[in-house]
């Protein structure tokens, strides 16, 4: 089953990615030999979703180490720093990308390997660990989140946060998958997610394979559905969460949160701890990626707007913390006030007590 295939994996020195630009029509694995190619694959969204691009970048760093011609440690560190600079900027909003790159740099600094071959080997093993950990973390998020889902529920989901957005399983969609596996009867209203249609193309594709009943809806239809039928919860992912709980996620998430509040529908964000950026006090400090206006004016390469029309394309928006009922992490569900609860969790994690 395709939802058992890792989105990101390493094979024979190549970084292998499910090519998400081709889904749902074609399932294809794209293979990359160098970290610059991996950075470009992240930029053009062959791979997308915060945890998935983090894992891809970690393997890209391992490639950089393997291809480095440095003869000493200082040279290898310099080559890794250069690769980090290229990978880090491929997409700016998802903090998991720079988090994974930093994890690799930290390993290189602190592993204690003075032998270059051993360090190269260790870096690949560390990238593999980042990828493996992601699967375990997502399943934990799934367990914590599933406990919040009623036995019979209608859930609205935005973008794609499933296996394809992670190494495997997913965050918000992983919660839906876990709840489904526990026997809960779910119906998912799948926001199509303009402009790239991750909902209609990718989330529906995953849900079909998982046998989870769902209906694709236009992004603007969520208010209608919340007014006309019982919607039990909204479940979304995040690309970066500030220390006060403000959460950046796919454009349109903020609108959904406001509509959910208006109708008294709980609004949950599911994300691994690596998505939480405690260095940022609030969400206005999160850099929002601006992508090509062609993504708005064209669908599958075909223009839908008058020639010469201008379009804006912020890829993400920030949902203020007061709209968020809870943040589902691998450590459990964090509740407001987030400035306090996230700081307390960070302290427990640092002390190894989480
Ligand atoms: O532009 P994308 O498709 O990379 O955006 C993805 C999202 O916004 C997801 O909701 C987020 O990365 C969380 S994925 C587990």
* pLDDT number for residue 2: 59
Q: Which residues are catalytic?
A: 239
CATH class of the domain defined by 143-350: alpha beta
3 state SS of 68: coil
For the cut 80, the answer to whether the pLDDT of residue 214 exceeds it is: yes
Which residues lie closer than 8 Å to 268 by C-beta, 6 or more apart? 145, 148, 172, 175, 233, 234, 235, 236, 324, 325, 326, 327, 328, 333
Kindly state if the Cβ of 249 falls inside 6 Å of ligand 1: yes
pLDDT at 230: 86
Whether the predicted pLDDT of 162 surpasses 70: yes
The pLDDT-based confidence of 4 (bands split at 50, 70, 90) is confident
The yes-or-no verdict on residue 146 having pLDDT over 80 is yes
**Is the shortest distance between the CB of 245 and ligand 1 below 6 Å?**
no
Cα distances from 50 to residues 40, 213, 235, 316, in angstroms, run: 15, 25, 16, 12
Condensed to tens digits (0 to 9), the pLDDT of residues 125-145 reads: 999 999 999 999 999 999 999
Per DSSP, the residues of 176-238 read HHHHHHTT-EEEEEEE--TTTTHIIIIIHHHHHHHT--EEEE-GGGHHHHHHHS---EEEE--
| Alpha-carbon gap, residue 283 to 244, rounded angstroms | 8
Which residues in the chain are classed under CATH 3.40.50.10470? 143-350
Mean pLDDT of 187-201: 98
Burial of 105 (0-12, 13-18, 19+ CB in 10 A): middle
Residue 52 CB-density burial (10 A; 0-12 exposed, 13-18 middle, 19+ buried): buried
For ligand 1, the distance from its centroid to the CA atom of residue 145, given in whole angstroms, is: 18
pLDDT at 145: 98
What's the distance, CA 259 to chain centroid? 23
Cβ neighbors of 282 (< 8 A, separation 6 or more) are 242, 243, 244, 246
- The mean pLDDT of the chain is 97
Mean pLDDT confidence for 268-296: 98
| Cα 296 from Cα 294, distance rounded (Å) | 5
In this predicted structure, what is the pLDDT of residue 113? Answer: 85
Q: What is the spatial distance between Cα 284 and Cα 240, in angstroms, rounded to a whole number?
A: 11
Would the CB of 171 count as within 6 Å of ligand 1? yes
Contact criterion met (CB below 8 Å) for 238 and 272:
no
If residue 55 lies in a helix (H) or strand (E), which one and from where to where? helix 50-67
* DSSP annotation string for 285-302: GSPPPB--THHHHEETTE
Q: Which atom of ligand 1 is nearest to the CA of 166?
A: 15
Is the CB–ligand 1 distance for residue 175 below 6 Å?
no
pLDDT band at 1 (very low <50, low <70, confident <90, very high): low
CATH architecture, range 2-139: Up-down Bundle (1.20)
Q: Is the predicted pLDDT of residue 112 greater than 90, yes or no?
A: no
Mean pLDDT over 251-256 rounds to 98
Per residue in 60-106, pLDDT (tens digit) is 999 999 999 999 999 999 999 999 999 999 999 999 999 999 999 99
Residue 192 in this model has a pLDDT that exceeds 80: yes
Which numbered atom of ligand 1 lies nearest the CA of 271? 15
Q: Measure 85 CA to ligand 1 centroid, in angstroms.
A: 22
User: Which part of the chain has CATH 1.20.120.420?
Assistant: 2-139
What number is the average pLDDT over the span 188-214?
98
């Amino acid at each position: 089953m395709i939802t058992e295939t890792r989105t990101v994996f390493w094979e024979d020195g190549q970084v292998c990615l499910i090519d998400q630009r081709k889904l749902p029509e074609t399932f294809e694995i794209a293979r990359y030999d160098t970290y610059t190619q991996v950075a470009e694959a992240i930029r053009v969204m062959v791979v997308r979703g915060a945890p998935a691009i983090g894992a891809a970048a970690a393997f890209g760093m391992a490639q950089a180490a393997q291809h480095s011609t440095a003869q000493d440690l200082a040279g290898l560190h310099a080559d890794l720093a250069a690769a980090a600079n290229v990978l880090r900027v491929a997409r700016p909003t998802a903090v998991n990308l720079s988090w994974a790159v930093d994890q690799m740099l930290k390993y290189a600094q602190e592993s204690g390997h003075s032998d270059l071959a051993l360090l190269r080997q260790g870096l690949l093993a560390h990238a593999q660990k980042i990828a493996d950990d992601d699967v375990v973390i997502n399943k934990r998020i799934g367990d914590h989140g599933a406990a919040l889902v009623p036995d019979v529920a209608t859930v609205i989901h935005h973008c794609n946060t499933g296996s394809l957005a992670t190494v495997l399983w997913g965050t918000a969609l992983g919660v839906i998958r876990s709840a489904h596996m526990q026997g809960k009867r779910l119906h998912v209203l799948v926001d199509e997610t303009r402009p790239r249609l991750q909902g209609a193309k990718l989330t529906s594709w995953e849900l079909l394979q998982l046998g989870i009943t769902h209906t694709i809806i236009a992004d603007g239809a969520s208010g209608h559905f919340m007014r006309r039928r019982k919607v039990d919860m909204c479940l979304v992912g995040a690309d970066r969460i500030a220390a006060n709980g403000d959460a950046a996620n796919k454009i349109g998430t903020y609108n959904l949160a406001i509509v959910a509040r208006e109708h008294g529908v709980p609004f949950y964000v599911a994300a691994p701890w690596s998505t939480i950026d405690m260095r940022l006090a609030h969400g206005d400090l999160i850099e929002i990626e601006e992508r090509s206006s062609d993504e708005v004016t064209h669908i599958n390469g075909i223009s839908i707007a008058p020639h010469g029309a201008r379009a804006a394309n912020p890829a993400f928006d920030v949902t203020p913390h007061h709209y968020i009922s809870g943040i589902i992490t691998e450590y459990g569900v964090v509740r407001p006030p987030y400035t306090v609860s996230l700081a307390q969790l960070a302290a427990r994690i640092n002390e190894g007590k989480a």
